[in-house]
Amino acid sequence: MMTVRQWSITQASVGMRLDLFLCGQFGQLDPTDSLSRSEIQRLISQGQVRLNGTMTKASARLKAHDCIELRSLPVHETKLKPEPIPLDVLYEDQDCLVINKAPGIVVHPAAGQPTGTLVNALLHHCSDLAGIGGERRPGIVHRLDKETSGVMVVAKNMLAFQKLLAQFKTRTVRKEYLAVTWGAIFPTEGRVERPIGRHRSDRKRMSSLYFLNKARPALTEWRVEERFIVTHKSSSCSVSLVRLLPRSGRTHQLRVHLADMGFPVVGDKVYGQQKKAVRQHIVVHPVLGAFPRHALHAEKLAIDHVRTGQRMEFCAPLAKDMRELWSYLRRLNTNEVSGIPELSIRRG
């Protein structure tokens, strides 16, 4: 059923653009059904917004006593299919859902993978989705790569979607990751501030060293938690467990910065195996080299609650494979680690 909302323009709003006026007004009647400026512009172009009874443009300037009528269509059901995929839920309320994403699951359906994604799982889990942009679906405000595990927040309605997006845009969200990297990182803490863009010779990769013109600023802070020297037969190499705090949100940022520093993430097939030293380590240490994914985990996420503004921090326990990897690295001078024959690991 179509709903109709009306506004009469007072002197205070004279001269405003129509789309900007609606941005400030539309969500007041129902905050959970708020709309972004681009979505309001789409409604105007579709003729769902009338100014004094006629179709108009988003740039129309308002006059005193103008009458605006917005005809909201009911939220339509998504074409995506709900699927009973297990979720590790850390927190849930009427506005958002925080999960510990498992490694190996794609966040959003795309060409070649319409099912089996996190969105399919969320559609099955959440019975109270209010709709995002006119469609009943979860609001993905940030993504983790398929192989990356850890904490993610998902919006259930437009209010939460807009508020969370704003927090990511203004960088008030705090994120912390853990990674296992090849090499002994020194000093113990520091920061890397290098712009990231598409690799100039490989469009499927990003780079902070060899990028095209359209690079964007990126900043990563890091702190070494532990260092290890891994000895196998007569050869050895160094490995680090490092905590990462991204201060920007570029594609593959952490993996790119680490690789370009010379310390690629263990298991990273995109940014790691191009390094000659890493290829040698993989040959010499086949077990660590065969870790099935990049060893990167989003451990902590801090956000402001979308209604109360209260600061909330969530912590996602390590996925089983990374927990086992860390355990192997901490077991000193032993050959008894299951599945790792003749592997000797000591702290560095």
Mean pLDDT by 10 residues, the chain (348 residues): 76 91 68 66 85 92 92 67 93 95 91 86 84 71 94 89 89 96 92 94 89 91 91 77 96 95 92 67 66 95 94 96 88 44 42
pLDDT of residue 277: 61
pLDDT for res 47 = 84
Distance spanning both ends of the chain, measured CA to CA = 67
What's the confidence (pLDDT) of residue 74? 57
The full set of domain ranges for the chain reads 3-74, 75-170, 171-348
What is the predicted pLDDT for the residue at 46? 80
The residues assigned a catalytic role are 145
For residue 295, the SS3 value is: coil
User: In 10 A of CB 188, how many CB atoms?
Assistant: 11
Q: Supply angle C-alpha 32, 10, 47, rounded to 5.
A: 55
Tell me which architecture the domain covering 171-348 has in CATH: 2-Layer Sandwich (3.30)
- 8 A C-beta contact, residue 108 and residue 119: yes
Residue 289: strand, helix, or coil: helix
Query: What is the residue type of 280?
Result: Q
**Range list of H helices, the chain:** 18-29, 37-45, 118-125, 158-169, 253-261, 276-284, 286-289, 320-330
Kindly state the tokens that stand for 303. Answer: 């956000």
How confident is the model at residue 272, as a pLDDT?
82
User: Cis link prior to 187 (omega < 30° from 0)?
Assistant: yes
Return the CATH number of 75-170, one of 3.40.50.10260, 3.30.2350.10, 3.40.50.300, 3.40.50.1440.
3.30.2350.10
Q: Which residues pair with 345 in a beta bridge?
A: 230
Ramachandran region, residue 15 (left: φ > 0; alpha: ψ -120 to 50; beta: rest): left
299: helix, coil or strand?
strand
Do 3-74 and 75-170 fold alike per CATH? Answer: no
CA angle in degrees (0–180, nearest 5) for 298-186-266: 45
Supply the pLDDT for residue 278: 62
Nearest to 144 by CA among 254, 244, 219: 254
The phi, psi pair for 12, rounded to 5°, reads -65, -25
How confident is the model at residue 332, as a pLDDT? 39
CATH architecture of 3-74: Roll (3.10)
